[in-house]
């Protein structure tokens, strides 16, 4: 609507300028014999001629002036095919040329604007919902079995490259640092207590002790004492004595100050910290490592693990709280860190410019074809009206300029006529 009004205003101005020149020319007839009349009449005459000539030229582009089939008028309707082909050729060879596009995009800071826009838009609920939906859809598209087959070779190489001694040493130091040996020792004491306190254990220990005493081959006074003790102590009493002794010892070893406890723990620590130098232990871990790496069941295990991860990820993607508290802050921080590195932004900007230019260049034929198809859909009258709508304003000012320039030239020629 604005372009139409401007065009109409320009056409109105051009018509007024032509009318002024015609009225001025007629108004100078009464004073045509005076010097001023000669000069003014010459000016208005030239202005009228210039305005009419430019009106004829502008009108002849779009239609026949006054409807008369004058040769070489209505140029655009008669040359519609040439005009359309020239427009398509200009688009394909000039406007959409790769180098020209890159040059025009230079300094546009596409990447920076895009990153800032993305960061700001992350605050909106619509973007959060879109991210959740896109993430869930993408995760569901993953085939765990296919993904497992794809990553299995890399996983096998990683397993094969593991330095057994290094990781054994690292694991042992971590275990000692976190005092896992004390927890393991206390667990062993607890299991030992559970075993010793059982009635069948007491009976078994009593029987074993009685059998051991009976098998002693001791003579003399010592033999007499042993036989007397064996006759006095039954298997049940022997089992109860041993049981009480063991339970008391196990209970005492729970105390940090007990010397046996500290000695046992120190021995365990030294064993753990020396495992990486134990050739047998390292070889065992190495053999276990290679069995895993070469196992044909690795893909199956990976697929099962990835399937579980996929279920977990889908659940998290559908959780608005997880998206709000974890995903969006992660994305915002990633965008902020990227914006803080101008080199990275410049590289991304260059890549985007090249991709845009390449995309347009690869498809400029299709764009030109689309322009031609859309132009062919319009009838000649509609196409001419559209062209006149967009370029008519400037063409109407040609008429104004023609009238004004003609008037000025006419004044000069009138003065020259008087002087001659």
Q: Which two tokens stand for residue 235?
A: 């298997």
Q: Transcribe 288-340 into DSSP letters.
A: HHHHHHH-TTHHHHHHHHHHHHHHHHHHHHT-HHHIIIIIHHHHHHHHHHHHT
pLDDT band of 3, cuts 50, 70, 90 = very low
**401 inside domain:** yes
- Would you state the structure tokens that stand for residue 87, as one six-digit string? 């427009």
181 with 279, same domain? Answer: yes
Residue 280 in any domain: the answer is: yes
pTM: 0.49
Residue that wins the pLDDT comparison between 7 and 234: 234
Q: What angle separates helix 180-196 from helix 259-273, to the nearest 10 degrees?
A: 130
* Torsion sign over Cα 48, 54, 60, 63: negative
**Which of 248, 265, 289 corresponds to the end of one domain?**
289
Establish if 39 belongs to a structural domain: yes
Instruction: Establish if 61 belongs to a structural domain.
Output: yes
Asked whether the beta carbons of 112 and 354 are under 8 A apart, the reply is: no
Last residue of a domain, one of 273, 289, 305: 289
Is 279 part of any domain?
yes
Q: How far is CA 218 from CA 104, 223, 227, 286, in A?
A: 111, 5, 9, 53
**Pair 29, 414: CB distance under 8 Å:** no
Q: Tally the domains of the chain.
A: 2
pLDDT at 277: 92
User: Which position has the token pair 């001694």?
Assistant: 165
Q: Is residue 60 part of a domain?
A: yes
Q: Which two tokens stand for residue 18?
A: 């032509």
Average pLDDT over residues 375-380: 64
> Mean of the per-residue pLDDT values for the chain?
78
Q: Is residue 191 part of a domain?
A: yes
What is the pLDDT, as a whole number, of residue 373?
A: 67
Q: Where does the pLDDT of residue 5 fall: very low under 50, low under 70, confident under 90, or very high at 90 and above?
A: low
Q: Which tens digit of pLDDT belongs to each residue from 41-87?
A: 777 777 777 767 766 666 666 666 666 676 666 655 666 667 667 66
Confidence of residue 144 (pLDDT cuts 50, 70, 90): very high
For residue 409, what are the contacts with CB-CB under 8 A and spacing of at least 6?
46, 50
| 247 falls within a domain | yes
Average pLDDT, integer, range 256-279: 91
Task: Give the closest residue to 281 by CA, choosing from 43, 273, 30.
Answer: 273
Q: What share of the chain is helix, strand, coil (3-state, %, to 5)?
A: 85, 0, 15
Q: What's the gap between Cα 31 and its chain centre?
A: 81
pLDDT at 381: 66
pLDDT digits (tens, 9 = 90+) for 22-48: 787 787 877 777 777 777 777 777 777
188-244 residue pLDDT tens: 999 999 999 999 988 888 788 777 665 655 555 545 454 555 555 567 777 888 889
Residues 180 and 73 reside in one and the same domain: no
Express each pLDDT in 159-201 by its tens digit: 999 999 999 999 999 999 999 999 999 999 999 999 999 999 8
Burial of residue 414 (number of CB atoms within 10 Å: 0-12, 13-18, 19+): buried
Q: Is 146 exposed, middle or buried (0-12, 13-18, 19+ CB in 10 A)?
A: exposed
In which domain, by residue range, is 412 found? 2-78+379-419
Q: Are 393 and 52 in contact (CB under 8 A)?
A: no
Chain mean position to CA 162 = 33
Last residue of a domain, one of 235, 257, 289: 289
The SS3 call for residue 71 is: coil
pLDDT at 6: 45
pLDDT band at 284, cuts 50/70/90?
A: very high
* Percentage with pLDDT > 90 across the chain: 25
Q: Which residue has the higher pLDDT, 81 or 5?
A: 81
Predicted confidence at residue 186, as pLDDT, reads 93
- Compute how many other C-beta atoms are within 10 angstroms of the C-beta atom of residue 163: 12
SS3 218: coil
Question: In a 10 Å sphere around its CB, with 0-12 CB exposed, 13-18 middle and 19+ buried, how is residue 48 labelled?
Answer: buried
């Amino acid at each position: 609507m604005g372009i139409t009004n401007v065009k109409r205003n320009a056409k109105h101005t051009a018509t007024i300028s032509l009318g002024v020149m015609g009225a001025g020319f007629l108004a100078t007839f009464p004073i045509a014999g005076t010097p001023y009349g000669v000069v003014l009449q010459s000016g208005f005459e030239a202005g009228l001629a210039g305005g009419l000539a430019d009106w004829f030229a502008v009108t002849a582009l779009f239609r026949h002036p006054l409807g008369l089939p004058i040769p070489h008028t209505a140029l655009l309707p008669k040359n519609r095919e040439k005009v359309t082909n020239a427009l398509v050729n200009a688009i394909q060879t000039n406007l959409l040329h790769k180098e020209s596009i890159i040059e025009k995009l230079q300094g546009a800071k596409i990447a920076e604007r895009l990153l800032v826009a993305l960061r700001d838009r992350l605050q909106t609920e619509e973007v959060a919902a879109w991210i959740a939906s896109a993430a869930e859809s993408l995760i569901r598209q993953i085939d765990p079995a296919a993904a497992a087959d794809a990553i299995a070779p890399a996983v096998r190489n990683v397993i094969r490259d593991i330095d057994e001694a290094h990781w054994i040493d690292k694991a042992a130091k971590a275990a000692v640092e976190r005092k896992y040996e004390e927890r393991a020792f206390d667990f062993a004491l607890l299991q030992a207590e559970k075993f010793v306190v059982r009635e069948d254990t007491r009976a078994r220990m009593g029987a074993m002790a009685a059998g051991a005493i009976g098998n002693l081959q001791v003579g003399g006074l010592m033999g007499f004492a042993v036989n007397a003790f064996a006759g006095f102590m039954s298997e049940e009493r022997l089992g109860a004595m041993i049981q009480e002794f063991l339970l008391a010892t196990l209970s005492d070893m729970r105390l940090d100050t007990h010397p046996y406890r500290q000695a046992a723990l120190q021995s365990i620590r030294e064993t753990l910290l020396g495992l990486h130098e134990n050739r047998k232990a390292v070889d065992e871990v190495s053999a276990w490592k290679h069995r895993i790496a070469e196992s044909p069941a690795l893909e199956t295990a990976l697929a099962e693990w990835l399937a579980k991860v996929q279920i977990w990820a889908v659940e998290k993607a559908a959780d608005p709280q997880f998206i709000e508290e974890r995903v969006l802050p992660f994305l915002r921080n990633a965008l902020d860190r990227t914006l803080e590195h101008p080199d990275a932004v410049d590289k991304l900007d260059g890549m985007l410019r090249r991709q845009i230019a390449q995309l347009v260049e690869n498809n400029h034929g299709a764009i030109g074809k689309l322009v031609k198809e859309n132009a062919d859909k319009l009838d000649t009258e509609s196409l001419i009206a559209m062209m006149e709508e967009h370029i008519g304003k400037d063409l109407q000012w040609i008429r104004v300029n023609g009238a004004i320039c003609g008037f000025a030239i006419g004044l000069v020629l009138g003065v020259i006529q008087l002087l001659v």
